[in-house]
């Protein structure tokens, strides 16, 4: 399955961060401030990754595998994947922030492996090279 996307508004980015990463609304708004657009910092992703992972582990140790624990685990996986593709496949010159638009591809974790990640990375690279050449 090919990946294709258009830009995302700040409001949509905030909504997706709250829904799929479990972000606090205030934190999400701060992350997508006007100077960064619909981006979140890698440092923020690292922080919430640790927070969600600790939450998930504590709840699982105390209550076992519950629906809440599964939800936290999904958030942990999404945060990790978003961070991973931001520092490897879809890097940009900022090297400090990641476009939240890629979170769209992690809404349904069951289909992530079906995407053509290599083709998407090449398309991203060619687009960035084209931007530099002009």
* 77 is a domain residue: yes
Is a pLDDT exceeding 60 seen at residue 2?
Answer: no
| pLDDT of the residue at 5 | 66
**Is residue 58 included in any domain, yes or no?**
yes
Yes or no: say if 73 and 93 are a contact pair by the CB < 8 Å rule.
no
Interval 88-128: pLDDT, tens? 887 777 778 888 988 998 999 998 888 877 887 788 778 77
Percent of the chain exceeding pLDDT 90 equals 52
In a domain, 121, yes or no: yes
5 assigned to some structural domain: no
The C-alpha atoms of residue 131 and residue 97 are separated, in whole angstroms, by 19
How confident is the model at residue 75, as a pLDDT?
97
- Which phi and psi (to 5°) does residue 29 adopt? -65, -40
| Dist. CA 95–CA 41, nearest whole Å | 9
* Residue ranges making up the domain that contains 124: 10-133
Mean pLDDT on 56-84: 95
**Structural domain contains residue 92:** yes
**Number of domains comprising the chain:** 1
Residues 18, 74: Cα–Cα separation, whole Å: 13
Assess if residue 110 is contained within a domain: yes
Which pLDDT band holds residue 36 (cuts at 50, 70, 90)?
low
Is residue 1 included in any domain, yes or no? no
Q: What is the pLDDT of residue 19?
A: 96
**Mean pLDDT score of the chain, rounded to an integer?**
87
> Chain-centre distance of CA 66, in angstroms?
24
2 found inside a domain: no
Is pLDDT above 70 for 83? yes
């Amino acid at each position: 399955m090919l990946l294709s996307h258009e830009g995302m508004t700040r409001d949509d980015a905030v909504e997706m961060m709250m829904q799929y990463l479990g972000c606090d609304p205030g934190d999400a708004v701060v992350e997508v401030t006007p100077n960064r657009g619909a981006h979140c910092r890698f440092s923020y992703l690292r922080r919430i990754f640790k927070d969600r992972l600790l939450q998930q582990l504590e709840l699982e140790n105390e209550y076992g595998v519950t629906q809440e624990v599964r939800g936290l685990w999904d958030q942990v996986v999404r945060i990790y994947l978003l961070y991973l593709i931001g520092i490897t496949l879809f890097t940009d010159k900022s090297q400090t922030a990641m476009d939240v638009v890629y979170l769209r591809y992690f809404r349904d974790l069951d289909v992530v492996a079906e995407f053509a990640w290599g083709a998407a990375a090449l398309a991203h690279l060619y687009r960035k090279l084209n931007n530099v050449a002009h």
